[in-house]
Amino acid sequence: MIFWGHLDSVDEHAARYRYTEERADGEPDPHAGILVVPAGDASACRMDGRDDVPLGALRVARKAAQERAATGEWPATTCWFSC
Instruction: Give pLDDT tens digits for 24-47.
Output: 887 878 889 999 999 989 999 999
pLDDT at position 33 is 96
Kindly state the percentage of the chain with pLDDT values over 90: 82
Q: Give the distance from CA 4 to its chain's centroid.
A: 7
Is pLDDT of 5 > 90? yes
Structural domain containing residue 63: 2-81
pLDDT at position 83 is 67
Angle at 30 between CA 51 and CA 5, to 5 degrees: 80
pTM: 0.91
pLDDT at position 31 is 85
Interval 68-83 mean pLDDT: 93
Looking only at the bridges linking them, the beta strands covering 14-22 and 33-38 are: antiparallel
What's the CA gap between 73 and 25, in Å, rounded?
34
Number of domains in the chain: 1
